[in-house]
Chain A
Amino acid sequence: MMTSLRTLLSRLRGTFAGRRSEIELNAQIEAHLDALADDYVRRGVSPGEARAAARRDFGGIEQMKEACRDLRGIALINSIGRDVQYAVRTIARNPAFAVAAVITLALGIGANTAVFSLLDAVTLRSLPVRDPEHLLQVVKVEGTVRRGENYSYPQVRALSEQRDVFSGVFGAGSSPVITGAPDALQRADAAWVTGDYYETLGVHPVAGRLLSARDDQPGAPPAAVITEEYWNRLFSRDPAAIGRTIPIEGVPVPIVGITPRGFGGVHVGQIADITLAVSARPQLSPRDALYLGPGANWLRLFVRLQPDVMEAQAGTRLAVVWTQLATSRRPAGPALVSPRLAQFTLALVSGRTGSSPLREQFGPPLYALMVIVAVVLLIACANVANLLLARAAARQREIAVRLALGAARSRIVRQVLIEGMVLSSAGTILGVGLAWGGSDALIDLLSTGRMEPVLLDVRPNGHVLLFATLSAMATALCFGLAPALRASSTPCASLLNQSSSRIFGSPGRLASTLVVCQVALSLVLLTGAGLFVETLHNLRTLDAGFRHEGVLLARVDAARAGYSGADTVRLYDELLERARQIPGVRSASFSIITPPSGGGGISLSVGVNGHAPRQEEFHINGVSPGYFQTMSTPIVMGREFTSGDNEAAPKVAIINEAFAARELDGVSPIGQRVSLGSPPGTRGEMSIVGVVRDAVYETLRSGAPPTVYIPFAQSQGGNVTFEISADRGLAQVSSVVRSEFQRRLPRTIVDVRTLTSQVEATLVQDRLMATLGAGFGTLGLLLAAIGLYGLLAYVQSTRAKEIGVRIALGAGRARVMWTVVRDALALLTTGAACGLPIVWAVSRLVGSLLFGVRPFDPTTIITATAVLVAAGTLAGFLPAYRSASVDPMIALRHE
Chain B
Amino acid sequence: MPPSAEVPYGALDLMILKTLESMGPQHGYGIARRIEQIVQGSLALNQGTIYPALLRLEQKGWIASEWGTSENNRRARFYSLTRAGRRQLQTETEYWTRTVDIVHRLLGRT
Contacts and interface: CB of A to CB of B under 8 A. Distances in A.
B48 A24 contact: no
Contacts of A60: 46, 48
Contacts of B72: 35, 38
A68 B55 contact: yes
B49 A59 contact: yes
Contacts of B56: 71
B32 interface: yes
Interface string B46-84: 111101100110111100000000101011110000000
A251 interface: no
Nearest to A9: B59
A67 B46 CA distance: 14
B68 to A, nearest CB: 11
Most buried by A among B55, B60, B77: B55
A6 B29 contact: no
A29 interface: yes
A32 B28 contact: yes
Given A36-B29, A59-B47, A59-B49, A31 B76 contact: yes
A72 interface: yes
A11 B59 contact: yes
Contacts of B70: 31, 35
A68 B52 contact: yes
B27 interface: yes
Nearest to B61: A6
B41 to A, nearest CB: 12
Contacts of A10: 58-59
A32 B32 contact: yes
A35 B32 CA distance: 11
Contacts of A67: 52
A18 to B, nearest CB: 13
Contact of A64 (B29, B49, B59): B49
A28 interface: yes
A334 to B, nearest CB: 84
B96 to A, nearest CB: 19
B59 A7 contact: yes
Interface of B is mostly: helix
B60 A28 contact: no
A61 to B, nearest CB: 6
Interface in B9-36: 27-29, 32-33
Contacts of A7: 59-60
Given A32-B32, A35-B29, A6 B47 contact: no
A64 B77 contact: no
B46 A72 contact: no
A652 B108 CA distance: 127
Interface residues of A, number: 28
Interface in B85-109: none
A58 B47 contact: yes
Contacts of B74: 31, 34-35
A60 B59 CA distance: 23
B46 A57 contact: yes
Nearest to A24: B77
Contacts of A34: 74
Contacts of B27: 31-32
A64 B52 contact: yes
Contacts of A28: 28, 51, 76-77
A196 to B, nearest CB: 59
B75 A58 contact: no
B47 A32 contact: yes
A71 B47 contact: no
Contacts of A889: none
Contacts of A232: none
Contacts of A36: 29, 47
Nearest to A61: B48
A3 interface: yes
A34 to B, nearest CB: 6
Contact of A71 (B28, B49, B55, B77): B55
B71 to A, nearest CB: 9
Contact of B75 (A27, A61, A64, A71): A27
A92 interface: no
A59 B76 CA distance: 19
Contacts of A63: 48
Interface string A1-30: 001001100110000000000001101110
Contacts of B32: 32
A29 B47 contact: no
A35 B26 CA distance: 13
A7 B61 CA distance: 8
B61 to A, nearest CB: 5
Interface in A68-125: 68, 71-72
B61 A64 contact: no
Contact of B51 (A35, A57, A68): A68
B48 A58 contact: yes
B60 A3 contact: yes
Contacts of B49: 59, 64
Contact of A29 (B46, B51, B59, B61): B51
B51 A64 contact: yes
A11 B49 CA distance: 19
A444 to B, nearest CB: 58
A55 to B, nearest CB: 9
Contact of B46 (A24, A25, A58): A58
A32 B29 contact: yes
A28 B70 CA distance: 12
A758 B52 CA distance: 78
Contacts of B77: 24, 27-28, 31
Contact of A59 (B33, B48, B60, B61): B48
Nearest to A57: B47
A53 to B, nearest CB: 11
Contacts of B59: 6-7, 10-11, 71
B46 A31 contact: no
A61 B48 CA distance: 7
A61 B61 CA distance: 25
Interface in A512-565: none
Given A6-B61, A28-B28, A38-B72, A71 B46 contact: no
B7 to A, nearest CB: 12
B90 to A, nearest CB: 15
A32 B54 CA distance: 14
A10 B57 CA distance: 11
Nearest to B62: A3
29 contacts: A6-B61, A7-B59, A27-B77, A28-B77, A29-B48, A29-B51, A31-B28, A31-B74, A31-B75, A31-B76, A32-B28, A32-B29, A35-B70, A35-B76, A36-B47, A38-B72, A39-B33, A57-B46, A57-B47, A58-B47, A58-B48, A59-B47, A60-B48, A63-B48, A64-B48, A67-B52, A68-B51, A71-B55, A71-B56
Given A24-B77, A35-B72, A71-B59, 14 more contacts: A6-B60, A6-B61, A7-B60, A25-B51, A31-B29, A31-B74, A32-B28, A35-B70, A58-B47, A59-B46, A59-B48, A60-B46, A61-B48, A68-B55
- State the 4 A-B residue pairs at the shortest beta-carbon distance, nearest first: A59-B46, A67-B52, A59-B48, A64-B48
